[in-house]
Structure 1
Amino acid sequence: MEAPNLQCVEHMVVFKINKDKNGSDADADCYEINARDYFVPTRDKWLLLTADYSQIELRLMAHFSKDSSLIELLSKPHGDVFTMIASRWTGCPEDSVGSDERDQTKRLVYGILYGMGANTLAEQLGCSPAEAGEKIQSFKSSFPGVASWLHEVVAHCHEKGYVKTLKGRKRFLSKIKFGNMKEKSKAERQAVNSICQGSAADIIKIAMINIYSVIAEGVVPVYSSSLADMFNMLKGRCRMLLQVHDELVLEVDPSVINEAASLLRMSMENAALLLVPLHVKLKVGRKWGSMEPFQEDEL
């Protein structure tokens, strides 16, 4: 990879050192390192704190499609989302859904979200294109609101030539009207994906603005005004370092780690009002590659 940025830093990197002068791999030593372990806070004793949205694109699909079944499942406070979806889709009890069925359901859901056809999805699921096509149709029958929304998005894009994100940003896809068959198919896939991914970008940018307002300017958002005194402690003791897709990375003085975690969770989960709740997972640690789940009671 040439000139990688921080969004491209991999978790694990495998490389070989050849002992053979001729460059043969037969006598090579293999090493594995976590490249992210080399990223640490800029200040001694400070901690890294991260928050990652859980299934934000799926939640946005539920919001836009207004599918009642998907909204119901994603609004439940407990339970594994993809296990619940698999149960609803197949009609099997949740406790009978195995890890393989859950994994296949997750691949199917994101395959539909990313506009995969039967052939591509078949490769993901390890089945024939015909079977993949049947799974797609079966899933859409179980979640008819999703099926209708997917059709409406493509039809609207054909008519207008663009799609809009949650906050009104437009992505123009002219090839959907004027391209050849291959280009039109690609644009149709991009239409759905652009709405969900673009809206996820809208939401995390709003969260970043709100977090920065607190830790750099001392301006507390309206939804957390009752916590103003607590959040005022963060100024100068917390810094936002990085956004990686649906994740934010902060460095924090350990003495205010609970307050920073509260700000991070509140800002991200309240960045947009959807028909389903937004959830984030928090992690903490000294090394970016070795973060542990954040446990407020332990600090």
Structure 2
Amino acid sequence: MTIEKENDRAVNFSRRAFVVGAFQAGILAVLGGRLAWLQTVEGNRYKTLAENNRINLKMMAPARGQIVDRFGVPFAVNNQNFRVLVIPEQTDDLEQSLRQLQTLIKLDDKQIEKVLKLAKRTPSYTPLEVADDLSWEEVATVEVNMPDLPAMSIDVGEVRHYPFADATAHLIGYVGAASKKDQEGDKDPLLTLPNFQVGKSGIEKTFDSDLRGTAGSSQVEVNVVGREVRELRNIQSHEGKRVVLSIDAELQRFAQQRMVADRSASAVVMDVHTGEIYALASYPAFDPNYFTGGISH
């Protein structure tokens, strides 16, 4: 009887061991199959996701330097400008994203078409300006709906403003977005930033390199959908130089106002002893503030 009991125990143990071993083998087979599936079928997808979880380097535009008269009265300053940017590579359907934004802020079809055309001829990783000069209400609306706006972000930029308007138009000139021709003639990477402004005429153009400043940079970690996770490093940009002219602002304004009655006139007020120019006016004139946001505005 003892031998039979021992044999029965051995048989039962073997059966249990076989069942446990089969169960473990089944689990290993399932895990192995899953790993094989992830490696062979889903491998490219997860590789792409891993590569997209990386560090991005963003260039930070500097503030443009001021232009002032001999007493420090400003001729050209920078006003704060809130705008919406989009990075085409971070959305599967750029037009759909723009249409979604259109339901939240004032954005006409021509602006959307302009962005779509621009996206076709610029690198997909380059931020494009969609709308600018946003109000606080519009900024808040976009920020609240940001999860539903892939590739969109709010950026705080600056827009050039000329307090004396037409009184200094011919002298100070104006700025505008860097054109393709500007980029070909100047290899400064700042000119590749969305709507980065350069001097187009007058003092703005003559002293453009001094007024432009030096770019900063920001290293940020982004997740697979392109959203910033954290900032790793920040190098501040340096504002452009302050250009001081020999012009007297009030004398300049007075000279311009005196010529309004004439159809065409110009005037120069100069110190004959030092050669300094106190006023340099011309009429007819124009308001350079209309050019800073683009001619279409």
TM-score bracket for this pair, using the shorter chain length: under 0.3
**TM-score, structure 1 as length reference:** 0.24
Which one has the bigger helix percentage?
1
More strand by share: 2
So what's the TM-score if we normalise by structure 2?
Answer: 0.25
Greater CA radius of gyration, 1 or 2? Answer: 2
